[in-house]
């Protein structure tokens, strides 16, 4: 309890999520005193702009967390695993964007529109931010669940290159440059593979293609990304037995994940009512008039905060099921914005 504005550290400030975070911190209501920017030793001394001021990036070290109230971590899993407990030990509350702690029982997994109360349930002083694919849909699904009681989710994702970090974005642009001028490409098996040469973080060329893979291989052929959608949805919604089936696919989009969803509920649903309900839910925008060509697409949604929902239909074969298509910016609500919202809830604790 004090009148001092809390000190924030942004760890991973130079990365894909970190860059969006600095933009978000510069445009949302300013609730922070000092903002410290942290990355690896490679970036130490670099100057980045936040809130209109240039700030020097510091190399990560235990001392960098001294006096920090809230530390956002936008770094790879192994870096969070090592450094988040050190930051917490030094007195910071950590909001972690990696997958390092998401399923730990003593770490809450928070989406403010769905389970804000979990922010206070943090015995290790670490709070996890969900995976971007789960986050891109869960605000809308959470609103439908509150009304109808969710029992099953079947999800197909259309995930953007930036979900694989800055390297994913660079790879997509490099590949597009290599295929853009040859109008014969995409007409013979193997011609695009030969033209792009560098696959970057993807297992197949992304330019002129779709790739049915995101993450690492887990048991029985599932990808880590598909298991995250299942496990994290269950934890956030408090539905440990929710039936979830996900197929995660990478598409040649720079930023903004899209998902086609078949959701089944415990009661009958009505498409118009679902449309109204979603339209009145915080963080959700309904854009659903196919006669006028109106539905969300990633290039129109990128850079915006809400989850955009369209193509809302009641299943032809099951009156308890809805089919819908939604888009969410994986670097904003899917990562940086949700983290910023959680951090703002913490900032209130420090200043109230």
Ligand X SMILES: NC(=O)c1ccc[n+]([C@@H]2O[C@H](COP(=O)([O-])OP(=O)(O)OC[C@H]3O[C@@H](n4cnc5c(N)ncnc54)[C@H](OP(=O)(O)O)[C@@H]3O)[C@@H](O)[C@H]2O)c1
* Angstrom distance (rounded) from CA 126 to CA 233: 19
What single DSSP character describes residue 211?
A: B
- Please pick, among 145, 248, 257, 327, the residue that the annotation labels catalytic: 257
Q: Which is nearer to ligand X, 12 or 310 (CB)?
A: 12
- When the beta carbons of 26 and 166 are compared against ligand X, the nearer one is 166
Residue 40 annotated as binding site = no
128 is in an annotated binding site: no
- Least Cα distance to 251 among 293, 290, 298 occurs for 298
Q: Measured between alpha carbons, how far apart are the two ends of the chain, in Å?
A: 6
CA dist 67 and 64 (Å) reads 8
Q: Which is nearer to ligand X, 17 or 312 (CB)?
A: 17
Answer yes or no whether residue 232 interacts with ligand X by CB under 6 A.
no
Q: Out of 6, 15, 200, 296, name the contact with ligand X by CB under 6 A.
A: 15
- 132 annotated active-site: yes
CA atoms within 13 A on the CB side of 262: 12
Q: Smallest distance from the beta carbon of 333 to ligand X, in angstroms? A: 10
The verdict on 227 binding ligand X (CB under 6 A) reads: no
- Is residue 145 annotated as a catalytic residue, yes or no? no
E strand or H helix at 143: helix 132-148
CA 291 to chain centre: 31
Question: Do the Cβ atoms of 229 and 130 come closer than 8 Å?
Answer: no
Which lies closer to ligand X via its Cβ, residue 125 or residue 166?
166
Site string for ligand X, 38-57 (x = CB under 6 A): -xx-xx--------------
Strand partners, 158: 249, 258
Of positions 26, 151, 156, 166, contacts ligand X by CB under 6 A: 166
Q: Using CB under 6 A, which of 6, 18, 108, 283 touches ligand X? A: 18
Q: Which stretch binds ligand X (CB under 6 A): 140-148, 181-189, 295-303, 329-337?
A: 329-337
What is each CA distance from 244 to 145, 156, 292, in whole angstroms? 14, 11, 33
Give binding residues for substrate as ranges. Answer: 159, 250
Q: Which residues bind ligand X (CB under 6 A)?
A: 12-18, 39-40, 42-43, 60, 74-77, 79, 97-98, 132, 162-163, 165-166, 330-331, 334-335
């Amino acid at each position: 309890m004090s009148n001092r504005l809390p000190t924030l550290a942004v760890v991973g400030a130079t990365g894909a999520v970190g860059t969006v975070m600095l933009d978000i911190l510069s445009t949302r209501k300013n609730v922070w005193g000092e903002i410290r920017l942290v990355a690896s030793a490679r970036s130490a001394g670099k100057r980045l702009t936040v809130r209109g001021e240039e700030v020097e990036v510091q190399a990560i070290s235990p001392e960098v967390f001294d006096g920090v109230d809230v530390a956002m971590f936008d770094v790879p899993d192994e870096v969070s695993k090592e450094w988040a407990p050190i930051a917490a030990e030094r007195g910071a509350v950590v909001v972690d964007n990696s997958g390092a702690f998401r399923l730990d029982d003593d770490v809450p997994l928070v989406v403010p529109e769905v389970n804000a109360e979990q922010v206070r349930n943090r015995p290790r002083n670490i709070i996890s931010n969900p995976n971007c694919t789960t986050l891109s849909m869960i605000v809308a699904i959470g609103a439908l669940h509150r009304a109808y009681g969710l029992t099953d989710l079947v999800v197909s994702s259309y995930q953007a290159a930036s979900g694989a970090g800055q390297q994913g974005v660079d790879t997509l642009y490099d590949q597009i440059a290599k295929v853009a001028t040859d109008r014969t490409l995409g007409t013979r098996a193997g011609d695009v593979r030969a033209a792009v040469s560098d696959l970057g973080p993807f297992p197949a060329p992304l330019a002129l293609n779709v790739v049915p893979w995101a993450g690492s291989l887990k048991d029985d052929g599932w990808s880590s990304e598909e298991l995250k959608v299942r496990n994290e949805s269950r934890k956030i919604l408090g539905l440990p037995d929710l039936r979830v089936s996900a197929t995660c696919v990478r598409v040649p989009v720079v930023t903004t994940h899209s998902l086609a969803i078949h959701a089944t509920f415990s009661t009958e649903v009505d498409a118009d009512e679902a449309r109204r309900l979603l339209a009145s839910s915080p963080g959700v925008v309904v854009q659903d008039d196919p006669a006028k060509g109106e539905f969300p697409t990633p290039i129109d949604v990128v850079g915006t905060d809400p989850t955009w929902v369209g193509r809302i239909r009641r299943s032809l074969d099951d009156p308890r099921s809805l089919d819908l298509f939604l888009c969410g910016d994986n670097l904003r609500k899917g990562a940086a914005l949700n983290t910023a919202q959680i951090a703002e809830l913490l900032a209130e604790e420090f200043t109230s």
